[in-house]
Structure 1
Amino acid sequence: MTPPSAPDASKAGWRTWAREVRSGLPDYSAKITAHLAAFLHSRGARRVLAYRALPGEPDVGALAREFELLAPRARFRPEPHLTLHPWETATEPSRFGALQPPANAPRVLLDAVEAVLLPALAFDHSGVRLGYGGGFYDRLLPGFAGLAVGVIAEALVVPALPAEAHDLRVGFLVTERGVRRVDATTSSKL
């Protein structure tokens, strides 16, 4: 399937495209996780906010053997936000379908995290993330000083995505081909 090409292609259009492409991809989890482990070790990261994979997302759970992983819990009151918890506490299904920690799981502050691994439907060359539309990571990460790493299959990295001022950009992308720093000077469609 060809990606949307019009300058005014909506995020919804991109999400439809990405879901269709993703449904036909092989599982690159092992390759991506190997690249992630080497990269995180090279940067001295120990405590990492990861994610419990949804179908089609690279599963990064194997990193728990080498790093202290944290799992997010989506909360909806007073406004949508994420809280961080020990990885092994993610035992209940979320409304999105991924495992998450229960409401009473011990919390960890973002200040204690050295790297955040972000899933997405797509990323662009400037690090713009096309998420699922909830804005959870966009609200969590402003001002985060650690590594923000996009985790995605190479087929879902595109030249430019529509972006708004609040949309998160990552500093690095990790795909089955390896790790690369994004070109933050490349402009996305605003």
Structure 2
Amino acid sequence: MLSAFISTDKAGWRTWAREHRITLPDHSAATTAHLRAFLRETGVRRVLAYRALPGEPDVSGLAQGFELLAPRARFRPTPRLTLHPWDTATEMSRFGALQPPANAPEVSLSDVDAVLLPGLAFDTQGVRLGYGGGFYDRLLPGFGGLTVGVVQRALIVPRLPADAHDCPVAWLATENGIERTRR
């Protein structure tokens, strides 16, 4: 329970979130339904989504109705994400999620309307607790579209530790609906 957990470092929060999320039911269908309505209402067509890891809400149901893109983590020369058509995600990444192969056609972030970000947890200001690679924090500076954190409601906390390079999201999507962050 959150009331018994206080940490000032991201490692402590990551441990808490991993332990907590394995106890939560899968609400992917409800979260995806809320996302579908929100994205249609805001006129979104092209969406950078993610291939879910265990415990993350699965948003693949959005492939009917939107042009989804899948990220590929690249590590050289500097760590970064590249964006590719959704259906090219056919190989397993080192993180355990499907990703496009290295030679898949790339799509520019400037052609994307919305980015859906998975996370271990988020806070009410939109700060994302990721897995520690900083991939989304390098991708998002300058992005002018919608940013939506996708997470179970029980993993939204009042405040997470944040670094200067962290890129908070503007919206949070859960099984209960879509809410604007307080950033």
2:131 corresponds to: 132
Shift, 1:112, TM fit: 0.2
Whichever residue aligns with residue 6 of structure 2, its letter is: S
CA distance in 2, matches of 1:20, 1:168: 25
Shift, 1:4, TM fit: 3.1
After the TM superposition, which residues 25-104 of structure 1 pair with which residues of structure 2 at under 5 Å, given as runs? 25-104=24-103
SS at match of 1:127: coil
CA distance in 1, matches of 2:167, 2:97: 21
Unpaired stretches in structure 2, ≥5 consecutive residues: none
Shift, 1:168, TM fit: 1.5
CA distance in 1, matches of 2:32, 2:47: 13
2:15 corresponds to: 16
Shift, 1:42, TM fit: 0.4
CA distance in 1, matches of 2:167, 2:160: 12
Residue identity (%): 71
Aligned residues: 182
Shift, 1:5, TM fit: 1.8
CA distance in 2, matches of 1:166, 1:111: 20
Shift, 1:100, TM fit: 0.1
Q: State whether residues 11 and 162 of structure 1, in contact with CA within 8 Å, keep that contact through their aligned partners in structure 2.
A: yes
CA distance in 2, matches of 1:15, 1:4: 12
* Residue-by-residue CA offset, 1:47-66 (whole Å, 9 max, x unaligned): 00000000000000000011
TM-score w.r.t. length of structure 2: 0.98
Q: Provide the alpha-carbon RMSD of the alignment.
A: 0.8
1:158 corresponds to: 157
SS at match of 1:18: helix
SS at match of 1:85: strand
CA distance in 1, matches of 2:122, 2:65: 26
Whichever residue aligns with residue 82 of structure 1, its letter is: L
TM-score w.r.t. length of structure 1: 0.94
CA distance in 2, matches of 1:146, 1:87: 19
Unpaired stretches in structure 1, ≥5 consecutive residues: 185-190
